Amino acid sequence: MARLIAPLRTRLVVAVFTFIALWGYALSITRYSIPEEMEEGSFVANLATDLGLDVRSLEERNAKLDVINSKNYLDINKDTGELIIREKIDRESICMTKTTSCFMKMDVILSNPVRIFNIELEIMDINDNAPVFRRRTMHLDISEATPPGERFSLTNAVDADVGANSIKTYYLSESKYFNIDIQTGSDGSKYVDLVLSGNLDREEHSLHNLILTAVDGGVPPRSGTASIIINVLDINDNAPLFSQPVFAVNVSENAVAGTVVMTLNATDLDEGTNAELIYSYTLYTSEKTQELFSLDPNSGEIKVKGVIDYEESQSFEMHIQAQDRGANPLSGHCKVMVFITDMNDNYPEVTIKSVKRALSEDVSVGTLIAVVSVSDRDSGVNGEVELTLNQQEILPFLLNKSSEGYFELLVSKPLDREIISKYDITLRVTDKGQPPLSENETITLEILDVNDNAPTFPQSFYTIHVVENNPPGALLTSLSAFDPDLSENQYLVYFIMEKEIVNTSMSMLFSINPENGDLYALKTFDYERERNFLFHIEARDSGVPPLSSNVTVHIIILDQNDNKPLIVSPWRAQGSVVEEVIPRSTDKGHLIAKVIAIDADSEQNARVTYQLLQVSDSTLFSLDQYNGEIRTTRMFSYRDPRQQRLVIVAKDNGEPALSATVTIKISTVEHAMPFSETTELPLEYDVFTDLNLYLVIGLGAVSFLLLITILVIIVLKCQKPKPKAIKIPPANRNSVISRNSVISQRSSTIADSTLISSDAYWYSLFLAETRKGKVVVRQPIIPKGAGYFVSSIPRSIGPSETTDSRASTLESEPRRGLP
């Protein structure tokens, strides 16, 4: 037993290790691509090189090729290690499905030791197959009545090739009646429809032969053809024709039943059922004639079928039609004159017993309109009658049978006079004879109006634009409502629904004509005071009870340029001149003043621009047309006069434009002080009540300051001393303010003065009155610890504390740098 188990264990271990080794070798796949239909012996690849094998080992290790699930089309040349074609490969026979990729899987197996290489060979398609139609001949039956544009599906061609070698397009042989429409499916395949492009006529061409060609996209392209045979089906487009329009025949009154009077023969150019004829009497043939004479519908034979009484009638007239059996039958007519013939007929009768000729539109459903009776003097089926309403499905009425031979006409739906104000009700009574006879009776019913419709305006909201300063009584618009009712129910009266705005009633501002809805303005509106109004207008009819509706009216006041600009800065008394004082050492671009104007109008009418109307020297000043800033365009020269006069105009952008002007008188002064970076010190002052005294003191102060300045300049030119600062005790710091300070003639000027010299320090003083009653003084910067510098001011000498601030502005500045 042990001897048997030991070999089995050994074999099992070898098998496991062999499987593991083969599995590792098979994980690597080598791929090649070749076109189909390669000749036998063609080179595919060098397996020995690609697989990293020695050529000699192929023979030694018994290399062989195992093709999976396919015929072996390839072989290995063991002398050279090349993979070659053994037999031509047809891609279409290997890959049945129309896929773009087609692979052959094979294994190269080596033994001693066993090793397996996986090979995938992609077979690329070539254009070796021509398109083929599933049906080489296609038959189509098309009616000659088919309208142009009708489409007919055709059997499409198939091509075993794929990709670009598959079917690319179709062509149709020349035809003036047909063309083709090519469509592409979601999978890229081509489908073709035959499209009718002209009117067919079977009597002209009953058969059409066409050739359809399918062409693939290969190089060179291949093609296949199919024949299309189109049979044009007949339609009933030709009416039967008799040989003559009128036939005359004599028949004895003693002719027995079954006697042939004549045989009619009509012809039809159509075929099939369209040419099969049926003969019949028309309605022009009397019933008595039809009772005495029979007409065979198939053969056209006219025979006697009743007793002919000459005394009753000496002649009969037959109107006969020959009608074909087409879907839309056509007919031909003739007249047959037969002597000694008679006909007796009775029509049913309808009698109105009672009727209402008018009803109010608000009557309830079921209201009785009329009572009607019907009768027929015939007997049997010909005496049975049926009463119907013409257009019963759309009329709001119905017939109710109350007893034998009597009917009631009732209201079946609510009535609306505004939709239909009058009904013509036609009662039609028909017997059941062959052919049936009928009689009509018409009842005219008028619908009376009730006030069931409120007035309606075309719009629910009206916006009306009114330009301000309108004349009182001006027509603003006409508001017209519509009421579909009649008479008093239609007569409208218009009202303004009362509403107060700032204790003012709307009726005080607007008026409306109660008859026609014309809306008027009762006052002149001012855009600057009132911009819009919102109120309601009511339209009320004169019905009982009255109905009404209202509409919202929005009045928008539009602006006019009726306010001229108002100059608010620089401020001045009415008609006075604004005076500005600036140092002559002012630099180029220095802001002298800023003109500000406001306009009570809006938008473009309130857009203000500024212009220089008059100027003493146009090269010395510039004016920004948008912000009104007046600046110097250059420095003053000794030739420039000390006083300059500017007239500025502020103009709005309205039509026509309105404007305002201001005159500014600019005076220049010269004050020298040592030049350095300057600071600002505000000095408060009290405003004099005596203006004359103020002017005298100011003039003296300026003259005294000018004299001192000249003396200081002369001394500095000669000695060039260093500047000294005078220290002032803290207790005297509050005495800076002097009641006799020089005051400018305007309340918002900029104090700015700097006189530059490379040889000495210059003093420059410029005083300006502000609205807070303060004066801003420019002075040189004194080194730290130098204390205070005292500048001479007419009738008042006060200390100025040195700071590191910049040039002063229009606004009053607080004291800075105090210890």
The predicted pLDDT at position 380 comes to 61
The pLDDT value recorded for residue 379 is 58
pLDDT of amino acid 333: 93
Residue type, 408: E
pLDDT tens string 664-675:
888 888 764 443
Between 786 and 699, residue with greater pLDDT:
699
Preceding amide of 794 cis, omega within 30: no
- pLDDT in the model for residue 464: 92
Report the 10 Å Cβ neighbour count for 484. Answer: 16
Q: So what's the pLDDT on residue 211?
A: 92
Residue 80 has pLDDT above 90, yes or no: no
**Per-residue pLDDT tens digits for 177-196:** 899 998 888 777 788 899 99
- Over residues 422-443, mean pLDDT: 85
Confidence of residue 326 (pLDDT cuts 50, 70, 90): confident
Among the listed residues 68, 156, 57, the one whose alpha carbon sits nearest the alpha carbon of residue 110: 57
- The confidence band for 493, taking pLDDT boundaries of 50, 70 and 90, is very high
Q: How confident is the model at residue 765 (pLDDT cuts 50, 70, 90)?
A: very low
Return d(Cα 212, Cα 167) in angstroms, integer: 13
DSSP bridge pairs for 775: 683
Q: In this model, does residue 773 exceed pLDDT 80? A: no
Measure the CA–CA gap between 521 and 803, rounded to whole angstroms: 67
- Which tokens sit at 694? 């103020």
Burial class for 406, CB neighbours closer than 10 Å (0-12, 13-18, 19+) = middle
DSSP state of 703: H
Find the mean pLDDT for residues 398-413.
Answer: 88
The three-state (H, E, C) secondary structure of 106-146, written as one string: EEEEECCCCEEEEEEEEEECCCCCCCEECCCEEEEEEECCC
pTM equals: 0.38
What digits encode the pLDDT tens for the residues 248-289? 998 876 778 888 999 999 988 888 888 889 999 998 888 888
Q: Nearest CA to 122 among 39, 59, 11, 33?
A: 33
Going from the N-terminus, what domains does the chain have, and what CATH number goes with each?
32-124 (2.60.40.60), 132-233 (2.60.40.60), 241-341 (2.60.40.60), 349-448 (2.60.40.60), 461-558 (2.60.40.60), 566-669 (2.60.40.60)
pLDDT value of position 768: 32
pLDDT at 201: 84
User: What is the model's pLDDT at position 378?
Assistant: 58
β-strand pairing of 475-478 with 492-496: unpaired
For residue range 347-358, list pLDDT tens digits in order. Answer: 788 888 888 889
Residue-wise DSSP of 543-606: SSS--EEEEEEEEEEEP-S----EEEES---TT--EEEEEETTPPTT-EEEE-EEE-SS-GGGG
Q: How many residues does the chain have?
A: 819
Q: What is the mean pLDDT of residues 542-560?
A: 89
Q: What's the pLDDT score for residue 10?
A: 39
pLDDT-wise least confident of 432-441, 665-674, 776-785: 776-785
Checking if the pLDDT of 16 tops 70, the result is: no
Provide the pLDDT confidence category of residue 301 given band limits of 50, 70 and 90: very high
337 close to 247: Cβ distance less than 8 angstroms: yes
